[in-house]
């Protein structure tokens, strides 16, 4: 199991006003979180004060992450890649562009995201839960899950980590975390769907008790 940072360039490209988000008069945090956890239009393409504020495909935005994945995991034509919490499938699409001949699959809890996914991968996306994957043992050469698992409650998180280990030969997950009290406060202010507020050591504990042996990285709200 290795720590590899694939997501910092995209994460750090976003500027965040933490206090404005938590104190918004129209969408105070409890209201924003309640709406966001429906995983529908408002979460993906609604008001920015709720979540993404328009999650659209931007050519080149996900390319650096795809290239790092390809290099680190040595993805080749013929390989099978699964994305858990795939959203609209943009990362999978970037992988297919970079390596024609790979097979991609995605699964997400949001029917809206799948219905509005990138047209080139939409038919490869399944509606489902990370805690119960409808795939065979070691079916995929690489399983990825980016900014998804911290949205799960404890029981589902434990199941999801075990499921990822079961279906993937190589694995990579990215989750939210914090190293300082400031980063913890920023995470609490910014998030609308997070159920796991874990330090890196806490995440390592989760990996150990569930037998997750894949690679991982953290994003921090500095």
Q: On the CB side of 215, how many CA atoms lie within 13 Å of its CA?
A: 17
What is the per-residue pLDDT across 133-175, written as a single tens digit (0 to 9) for each? 999 999 999 999 999 999 999 999 999 999 999 999 999 999 9
Q: Span 8-219: which CATH code?
A: 3.40.50.150
What is the per-residue pLDDT across 75-110, written as a single tens digit (0 to 9) for each? 999 999 999 999 999 999 999 999 999 999 999 999
Residue 23 pLDDT > 90, yes or no?
Answer: no
Residue 43 has a pLDDT of 97
Q: What whole-number distance in Å separates Cα of residue 132 and Cα of residue 40?
A: 21
Backbone φ and ψ for 92, nearest 5 degrees, come out as -65, -40
pTM higher than 0.75 for the full model? yes
* Cβ atoms 172, 216 nearer than 8 A: yes
């Amino acid at each position: 199991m290795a720590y590899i940072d694939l997501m910092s360039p995209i994460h750090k490209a976003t500027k965040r006003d933490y206090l404005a988000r938590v104190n918004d008069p129209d969408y105070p945090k409890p209201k924003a979180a309640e709406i966001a956890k429906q995983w529908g239009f408002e979460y993906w393409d609604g008001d920015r004060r709720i979540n993404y504020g328009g999650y659209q495909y931007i050519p080149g935005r996900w390319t650096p992450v795809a290239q790092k994945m390809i290099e680190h995991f040595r993805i080749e034509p013929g390989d099978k890649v699964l994305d858990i919490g795939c959203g609209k499938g943009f990362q999978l699409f970037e992988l297919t562009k970079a390596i024609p001949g790979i097979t991609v699959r995605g699964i997400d809890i949001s029917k809206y995201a799948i219905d509005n996914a990138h047209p080139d991968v939409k038919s490869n996306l399944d509606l489902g839960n990370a805690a119960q994957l409808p795939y065979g043992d070691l079916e995929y050469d690489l399983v990825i899950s980016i900014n998804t698992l911290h949205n799960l409650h404890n029981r589902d998180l434990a199941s999801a980590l075990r499921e990822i280990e079961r279906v993937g030969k190589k694995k990579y997950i990215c989750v939210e975390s914090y190293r300082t009290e400031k980063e913890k406060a920023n995470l609490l202010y910014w998030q609308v769907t997070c159920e796991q507020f874990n330090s890196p050591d806490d995440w390592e504990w989760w990996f150990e008790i569930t037998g997750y042996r894949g690679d991982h990285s953290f994003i921090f709200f500095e």
